[in-house]
């Protein structure tokens, strides 16, 4: 039962993921990506009982980040003739780098025996519940958790600084032109 | 799930759906009556006694109108937009505890359909899905005004979701749980969260106005600038879906506010009533009726504000969201955290 559910959800996820790349219209791509995130959330919720992670995935990725993606795409001119023609060299480079990334991921997964490593954690059925997760995050993994949050803070401040710097350099540019 | 539980869940979902639709239907009527009252008019009074059948006539008119799908629009997404909008607004109701326990023929029936231990996050997840209804519909119409409305709606909803989240976090610090059932149980009697979280409630209320696109934050459908906003190109029942989802959102967000801050189905002297009559069912029914009374008050409040306060300008809206409410909610979060640390340890 659980295995067939896994294969069903996995199939749906991969189908949507392929459609992201395969669809011509960028808006459709983004919407398929949203559906991919939803199926990944379904995987968390049904397979691991990790309702918290599943919901947060929906809120953060499907709800916030993809809305911003869609937001930017909607303001662009999406006519096909306005699209710049990509040279063959560009396509070949993309294929090679994509293939190398795939190789890297496969190699990393191959060396790590994930199935055995996770058995001890999976034995705990409540692993996905918010109480267990909070306990683990704030005791066992407190340092990595705090470092990650500092990283986010740096990224946030960095984007603000970059935004400010742009306007400053523009005014300097104008003064130089005068 | 056993068969009996399945039947009970099915019946309660259908009941909830009908009640939600009924309330949304009559909210449109109430809105026109309230508007009329505020402007010293009579309002709709032709269909039935006092105009009571006006919503049915409106609904019938929506169905009879010609359905126009613009030639240059993206047809699939054009239909998908209103569907997502109404679906997501109907989804939140299952998580709200509409009452305590009812004992029917020896079976204990909970008036909350699903009790998730992360109920609040579910509300937020559904809320964030709702944005897509407006965005997809606005973009697929292939109309500049629709697109403007959609972009305004999405940026407004994302901006106000932040401070709404912060005010909820402050509430969670006080209650210590994310399950809506437990949050309501903790407000037993008159021990409502509003007394601990007055500022948090105010922030939540303002954000709720922005999230439901109601005046003074109804810039996505600002008639004076954008014709009709994101639903300019819509006609017939697809327009009806958008309008309906707004009223359902209003009802559901009132219910969420009542659940989180105003004790849900709790009322003062409920223990005394249980003691005097000894009937759990009576207490539950009185609680549910009072819950709906509180919800109706908030729906009225939404309408009251709509016909009292003029609309903001868009830059004022963004300034209020980012420079006013977010710092305020962070400060309130800090104060709450300090208070919890001080009083509870």
Per-residue pLDDT reduced to its tens digit, A8-55: 888 999 999 998 888 888 888 888 998 999 999 888 888 777 788 888
Name the 3-class secondary structure at B53. Answer: coil
- Supply the pLDDT for residue A170: 52
Residue B142 burial class via C-beta count within 10 angstroms: exposed 0-12, middle 13-18, buried 19 and up: middle
Domain tally, chain A: 2
Q: Identify whether A131 is part of a domain.
A: no
Percentage of the residues of chain A whose pLDDT score is greater than 90: 15
Nearest CA to B294 out of B268, B332, B322 is that of: B268
Using the Cβ of A133 and the Cβ atoms of chain B, whether some distance falls under 8 Å is answered with no
B121 interaction partners in chain A (CB closer than 8 Å)? 52, 55-56, 59
Q: How far apart are CA A143 and CA B271, in angstroms?
A: 47
- Supply the pLDDT for residue A100: 93
pLDDT above 60 for A82: no
Q: Identify whether A158 is part of a domain.
A: yes
Name the 3-class secondary structure at B103. Answer: strand
Using the Cβ of A56 and the Cβ atoms of chain B, whether some distance falls under 8 Å is answered with yes
Domain tally, chain B: 1
- Could you give phi then psi for residue A170, rounded to 5 degrees? -65, -45
- Contact criterion met (CB < 8 Å) for B178 and A51: no
Nearest CA to B34 out of B296, B314, B332 is that of: B296
Nearest CA to A58 out of B255, B157, B132 is that of: B132
Percentage of the residues of chain B whose pLDDT score is greater than 90: 3
Q: Identify whether B14 is part of a domain.
A: no
Q: Identify whether B271 is part of a domain.
A: yes
Chain B nearest C-alpha distance from A65 (Å):
10
Q: Identify whether B31 is part of a domain.
A: no
ipTM, interface predicted TM-score of the complex: 0.80
Q: How far apart are CA A172 and CA A142, in angstroms?
A: 45
- Its domain, for residue B176, covers 63-344
Q: Identify whether B26 is part of a domain.
A: no
Q: How far apart are CA A53 and CA A56, in angstroms?
A: 5
Q: Identify whether A150 is part of a domain.
A: yes
Q: How far apart are CA B185 and CA B176, in angstroms?
A: 12
Q: Are B84 and B129 in contact (CB under 8 A)?
A: yes
- Its domain, for residue A53, covers 1-78
- Our CA angle for A73, A79, A80, nearest 5°, is 115
Q: Which of B73, B77, B126, B132 to mutate to test the interface with A (most CBs of A within 10 A)?
A: B132
Per-residue pLDDT reduced to its tens digit, B62-77: 888 888 888 877 788 8
Q: Identify whether B228 is part of a domain.
A: yes
A59 interaction partners in chain B (CB closer than 8 Å)? 121, 124-125, 128
pLDDT above 80 for B131: yes
Nearest CA to B166 out of B334, B336, B333, B338 is that of: B333
Q: Identify whether A130 is part of a domain.
A: no
- Mean residue pLDDT of chain B comes to 84
Q: Are B190 and B271 in contact (CB under 8 A)?
A: no
Q: Identify whether A129 is part of a domain.
A: no
Look at A9 and A174; give whichever has higher pLDDT. Answer: A9
Q: Identify whether B216 is part of a domain.
A: yes
Beta carbons within 8 Å of B112's beta carbon, 6+ residues apart: B95, B96, B97, B98, B99, B180, B181
H or E, element range at B159: helix B144-175
pLDDT class of A118 with cuts at 50, 70, 90:
low
Q: How many CB pairs under 8 A join A and B?
A: 62
Q: Identify whether A133 is part of a domain.
A: no
Q: Identify whether A5 is part of a domain.
A: yes
Q: Identify whether B54 is part of a domain.
A: no
Q: Are B130 and B88 in contact (CB under 8 A)?
A: yes
Listed residues A26, A53, A78: the one ending a domain: A78
Q: Identify whether B69 is part of a domain.
A: yes
Q: Identify whether A15 is part of a domain.
A: yes
CATH number of the structural domain spanning residue A30: 1.20.120.1200
Nearest CA in chain A to B76: A28
Smallest Cβ distance to A64: which of B77, B122, B128? B128
Listed residues A78, A94, A124: the one ending a domain: A78
């Amino acid at each position: 039962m659980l295995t067939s559910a896994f294969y069903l959800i996995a199939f749906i996820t991969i189908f949507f993921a392929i459609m992201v790349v395969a669809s011509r219209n960028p808006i459709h791509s983004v919407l398929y990506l949203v559906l991919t995130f939803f199926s990944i959330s379904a995987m968390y919720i049904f397979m691991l009982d990790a309702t918290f992670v599943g919901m947060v995935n929906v809120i953060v990725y499907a709800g916030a980040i993809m809305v911003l993606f869609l937001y930017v795409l909607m303001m662009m001119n999406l006519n096909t003739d306005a699209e710049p023609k990509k040279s063959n060299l560009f396509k070949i480079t993309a294929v090679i780098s994509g293939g190398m990334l795939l190789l890297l991921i496969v190699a990393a997964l191959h060396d790590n025996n994930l199935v055995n490593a996770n058995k001890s954690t999976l034995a705990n059925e409540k692993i996905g519940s918010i109480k267990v997760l909070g306990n683990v995050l704030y005791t066992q993994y407190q340092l990595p958790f705090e470092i990650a949050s500092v990283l986010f803070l740096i990224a946030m401040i960095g984007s603000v600084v970059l935004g400010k710097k742009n306007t400053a350099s523009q005014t300097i540019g104008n003064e130089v032109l005068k | 799930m056993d068969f009996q539980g399945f039947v009970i869940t099915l019946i309660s979902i259908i009941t909830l759906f009908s009640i939600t639709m009924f309330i949304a239907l009559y909210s449109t009527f109430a809105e026109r009556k309230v508007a009329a009252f505020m402007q010293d008019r009579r309002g709709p009074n032709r269909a039935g006694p006092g105009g009571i059948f006006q919503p049915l006539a409106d609904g019938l008119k929506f169905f009879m109108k010609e359905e126009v799908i613009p030639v240059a629009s993206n047809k699939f997404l054009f239909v998908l937009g209103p569907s997502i909008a109404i679906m997501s607004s109907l989804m939140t109701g299952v998580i709200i505890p509409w009452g305590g326990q009812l004992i029917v023929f020896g079976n204990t029936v909970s008036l909350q359909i699903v009790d998730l231990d992360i109920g609040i996050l579910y509300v937020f997840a559904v809320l964030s899905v709702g944005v897509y209804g407006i965005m997809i519909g606005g973009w697929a119409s292939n109309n500049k005004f629709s697109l403007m409305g959609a972009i305004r709606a999405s940026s407004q909803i994302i901006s106000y979701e932040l401070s709404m989240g912060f005010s909820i976090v402050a509430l969670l610090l006080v209650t210590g749980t994310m399950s809506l059932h437990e949050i309501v149980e903790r407000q037993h009697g008159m021990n409502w969260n509003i007394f601990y979280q007055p500022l948090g409630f105010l922030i939540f209320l303002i954000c709720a106005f922005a999230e439901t696109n109601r005046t003074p934050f109804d810039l996505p459908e600002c008639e004076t600038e954008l014709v009709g906003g994101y639903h300019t190109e819509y006609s017939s029942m697809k327009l009806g879906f958008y309008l309906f989802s707004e009223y359902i959102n209003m009802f559901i967000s009132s219910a969420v506010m009542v659940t989180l801050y105003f004790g849900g189905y709790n009322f003062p002297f409920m223990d005394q009533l249980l003691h005097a009559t000894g009937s759990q069912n009576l207490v539950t029914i009185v609680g549910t009726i009072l819950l709906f009374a509180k919800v109706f008050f908030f729906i009225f409040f939404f309408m009251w504000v709509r016909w009292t306060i003029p609309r903001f300008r868009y830059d004022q809206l963004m300034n209020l969201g980012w420079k006013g409410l977010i710092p305020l909610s962070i400060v309130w979060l800090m104060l709450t955290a300090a208070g919890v640390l001080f009083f509870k340890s």
